[in-house]
Amino acid sequence: MRGGHGKAGWCKHKWTYTVKYDLERIGKRGFHTASLRRKPSTLNLTGLEELAEKFGVPSEGGKILVDLDKLGFQKLLGEGSASKPYLVKVLQCSEKAREKIARAGGEIQLKLEAEVEA
């Protein structure tokens, strides 16, 4: 019994060989899985209606100002509908969300990432 072919077991049953010949660089480094990549936090228009009731501030022009970036959302998605005119400040938005907000008489202002960090 050889314990596997090639480098099999170098982090398990052949660990003494790895330590003896200073091969500790094997394992635990390199690429990360796709599930560990950070995804932007999103919000649908239905959630925007609820947040606007709680945190919305009336602005000039009769639109309700909602700054989604300050509330922790990076992207606005178009599921649902907009019943009131909103002035939404966000990093990203979908085309459907932009169309629905515009149909209700609102506006979306996209923030640049440089503005957010400053």
Predicted local confidence at residue 40, as pLDDT: 79
Cα–Cα distance, 85 to 72 (Å, whole number): 21
- Taking only the tens place, the pLDDT of each residue in 92-103 is 999 999 999 999
- Tokens 């077991």 locate to 9
Instruction: Quickly state the pLDDT bin for 111 (edges 50, 70, 90).
Output: confident
- Taking only the tens place, the pLDDT of each residue in 30-77 is 666 666 667 778 999 999 988 888 887 887 788 899 999 888 899 999
Q: How many other β-carbons are positioned within 10 Å of the β-carbon of residue 89? A: 17
Domains along the chain with CATH numbers: 1-30 (no CATH), 42-117 (3.100.10.10)
H or E element, residue 15: helix 15-20
Contact criterion met (CB below 8 Å) for 55 and 22: no
Predicted local confidence at residue 15, as pLDDT: 77
